[in-house]
């Protein structure tokens, strides 16, 4: 009997009612996705997460009371936290980097085409990060040049095996599990196992933070 995959449950957090309504209209009812709730400020996120049990949260960056960075950090401290995609209008906003370090799985601009938003939700639900291509390079360059990060990152990565280093490099390039498996001649389950071990060794939350660490180290 074929296994039925449950839909990805999505919580939308944005202080703009029109943005929330537009995202809900776009996403709700699509095959494989269901919008389980909305919130208009980061202060409402813990209660909304309890009520809606989302797999993925679409999180605005700037909100009047509690911003998306703080809300993301609070979510990531919870048992079995949902994945977070930051949605922002500001492609040069340095706070995006702080949000990624707080545990967000990636970020997208609000003018990202709907099909790419849907793809991003599916990817992060599978544990793969998504970064808006138009600003990934600028964001990573900023990470590299933050004072003190370089040596700390290189010291942390020194604890990894050569094979784990190869996986880190592939993750930093934005490769999917399937692409890493093909490039390094291993199975997808082996790739997942390596990534799990890397996260544990480096005390990181997700693949995005692996990528940031690699770029901090100048790799």
CATH of the domain at 193: 1.10.10.10
Same domain, 102 and 117: yes
Same domain, 88 and 162: no
Residue bearing the bigger pLDDT, 145 or 50: 50
Exposure b/e, 51-75, CB count within 10 A at least 16 = b = ebebbbbbbbbebeebbbbbbbbbb
Same domain, 96 and 181: no
Same domain, 137 and 122: yes
Same domain, 30 and 126: yes
Same domain, 96 and 165: no
Same domain, 58 and 130: yes
Whether the CA torsion 21, 70, 133, 125 is positive or negative: it is: negative
Residue 113 has pLDDT above 50, yes or no: yes
Same domain, 66 and 93: yes
Does residue 2 form part of some domain?
Answer: no
Does residue 20 form part of some domain?
Answer: yes
pLDDT of the residue at 1: 38
Does residue 125 form part of some domain?
Answer: yes
Does residue 195 form part of some domain?
Answer: yes
pLDDT of the residue at 55: 92
Same domain, 57 and 161: no
How many structural domains are present in the chain? 2
Same domain, 106 and 89: yes
Residue-range definition of the domain harbouring residue 91: 8-141
Does residue 67 form part of some domain?
Answer: yes
33-91: pLDDT as tens digits: 999 999 999 899 999 998 999 999 999 988 889 988 899 988 888 888 899 998 887 65
Residue 16 has pLDDT above 60, yes or no: yes
Same domain, 18 and 94: yes
Give the span between the Cα atoms of 42 and 63, in whole angstroms.
Answer: 7
165-218: pLDDT as tens digits: 898 888 887 788 888 888 889 888 888 888 888 888 888 877 777 877 887 777
Does residue 3 form part of some domain?
Answer: no
Residues 101-109 have a mean pLDDT of 81
pLDDT of the residue at 105: 83
Give the span between the Cα atoms of 128 and 114, in whole angstroms.
Answer: 18
Other Cβ atoms within 10 Å of 141 Cβ, number: 10
Give the span between the Cα atoms of 119 and 134, in whole angstroms.
Answer: 16
Q: Considering 125, 141, 157, which residue would you say is the last residue of a domain?
A: 141
pLDDT of the residue at 106: 79
Domain of residue 75, CATH code: 3.40.50.2300
Q: Considering 141, 171, 200, which residue would you say is the last residue of a domain?
A: 141
77-92: pLDDT as tens digits: 888 889 999 888 765 5
Same domain, 114 and 212: no
């Amino acid at each position: 009997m074929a296994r039925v995959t449950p839909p990805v449950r999505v919580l939308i957090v944005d202080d703009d009612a029109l943005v929330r309504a537009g995202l809900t209209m776009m996403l709700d009812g699509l095959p494989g996705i269901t919008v389980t709730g909305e919130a208009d400020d980061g202060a409402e996120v813990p209660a909304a997460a309890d009520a809606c049990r989302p797999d993925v949260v679409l999180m605005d960056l700037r909100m009047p009371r509690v911003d998306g960075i703080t809300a993301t950090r609070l979510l990531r401290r919870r048992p079995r936290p949902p994945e977070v995609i930051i949605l922002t209008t500001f492609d040069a906003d340095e706070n995006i980097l702080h949000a990624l370090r707080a545990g967000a799985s990636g970020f997208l601009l609000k003018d990202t085409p709907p099909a790419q938003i849907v793809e991003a939700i599916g990817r992060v639900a599978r544990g793969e990060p998504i970064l808006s291509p138009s600003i990934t390079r600028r964001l990573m360059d900023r990470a590299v040049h933050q004072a003190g990060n370089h040596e700390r990152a290189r010291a942390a990565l020194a604890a990894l095996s050569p094979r784990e280093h190869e996986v880190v490099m592939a993750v930093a390039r934005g490769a999917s599990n399937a692409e890493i498996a093909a490039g390094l001649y291993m199975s997808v389950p082996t790739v997942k196992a390596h990534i799990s071990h890397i996260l544990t060794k480096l005390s990181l939350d997700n693949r995005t933070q692996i990528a940031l660490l690699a770029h901090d180290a100048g790799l």
